[in-house]
Amino acid sequence: MTRPFRFGCQAYNASSRAERKDKARRAEDLGFSSFMLADHYIGPGPALSATNHPLQSLAAVPAIAVAAEATTSIKVGARVMCIDYRNPVVLVKEMATLDLLSDGRLEMGLGAGWLQGEYEAMGVPWDPAGVRITRLGEVVRMAKLLMADGEVNFEGAAGVRAVGFEGLPKTVQRPHPPIMIGGGAERVLKLAAREADIVSFNFDNSSGKIGPDVPTSGADAVARKVAWVREGAGDRFDQLELEIAAYFTFVTDKGAQVAEGMGSRFGMSGEQMLSHPHGLFGTVDAICDELERRREQFGISYVTVGDSVAEAFGPVIARLAGR
């Protein structure tokens, strides 16, 4: 089954409530189907610099609420919420509240956490990947129970607990908002295949920071990741929406030159960079052709770009959204 294209806009920085509202409204006007944040907390300094991660100036949950207030139709959420940064029951209640207050426009992105330096800087225990992924699975299962009707009694092996109460508020989207699970390794992607509605492909961030995994997350790696999802999903594979972020997006008539320069930063050739599933380089025509080729090759129909390129990317959305 060929899914129609959808496009997300991910925003990190905004200096004010008015700027956040403006960014969300502009994304909606341009035809993006979702306006997403990340879920990161540390400010400038050596801890953030060591991760190579961009600064996010605002906390995710209130910023999502402001974006929802400023818009009428675009989906809102985070790509993705780190389950270790708040108590899981608190996290689920926040997500249910956002869905209610946005009149059913939440995409509930959840992830096991991966930015080791941020964990350490904030004093959050950094458990082995297997423990974090097990806990993610428990949070997802508990969230589904809390968003359903009736009393919940859930105790997981990884410490996720909700016992003796009913979850409130109830979400507008039933039985729950669409769940996005993101990751880049086999175990988390197979979990996503079993439990999520949207599978978000990321780098294999086992290094705990951005950079080392870019060269090993190219087309061959994404094909392997799709195969893991297909294996994990079984009969429900056709029900899944596959998403990826094009972190390196340049709408330009000098795509080959830009890709060459970008590739040199990661020890990659220009050709490798041009075909990298996390990058888009070239004119509107070239990018549209490449997205259609990738949808045919990988089945990826949901593509997210950064808000810094939202305006330039608008003509791509105009041509492909819903097709």
Q: What is the DSSP string of 211-248?
A: STTSTTSSHHHHHHHHHHHHHHHGGGGGGPEEEEE-SE
Q: Which residues contact 296 (CB under 8 A, 6 or more apart)?
A: none
CA distance 37 to 55: 12
In a domain, 113, yes or no: yes
* Region 254-272 average pLDDT: 94
Rounded to the nearest angstrom, the gap between the alpha carbon of residue 201 and the centroid of all alpha carbons in its chain is 8
Taking each helix axis from N to C end, the angle separating 310-320 and 17-30, rounded to the nearest 10 degrees, works out to 30
Q: Is residue 94 scored above 80 in pLDDT? A: yes
CA distance 198 to 122: 29
CATH number at residue 27: 3.20.20.30
In a domain, 52, yes or no: yes
Alpha helices in 76-149 (DSSP H): 88-101, 116-122, 129-147
Taking only the tens place, the pLDDT of each residue in 116-155 is 999 999 999 999 999 999 999 999 999 999 999 999 999 9
Structural domain total, the chain: 1
Q: Is residue 1 scored above 90 in pLDDT? A: no
CA distance 127 to 232: 24
pLDDT score at 15: 66
pLDDT score at 12: 80
In a domain, 169, yes or no: yes
Taking only the tens place, the pLDDT of each residue in 183-197 is 999 999 999 999 999
Q: Is residue 261 scored above 80 in pLDDT? A: yes
% of the chain with per-residue pLDDT over 70: 99
Of 236, 132, 144, 141, nearest in space to 185 by CA? 132
Taking only the tens place, the pLDDT of each residue in 218-257 is 999 999 999 999 999 999 999 999 999 999 999 999 999 9
In a domain, 1, yes or no: no
Rounded to the nearest angstrom, the gap between the alpha carbon of residue 284 and the centroid of all alpha carbons in its chain is 24
The pTM for the full model equals 0.96
Domain residues for the domain of 25 are: 6-320
In a domain, 24, yes or no: yes
Tokens of 178: 């669409």
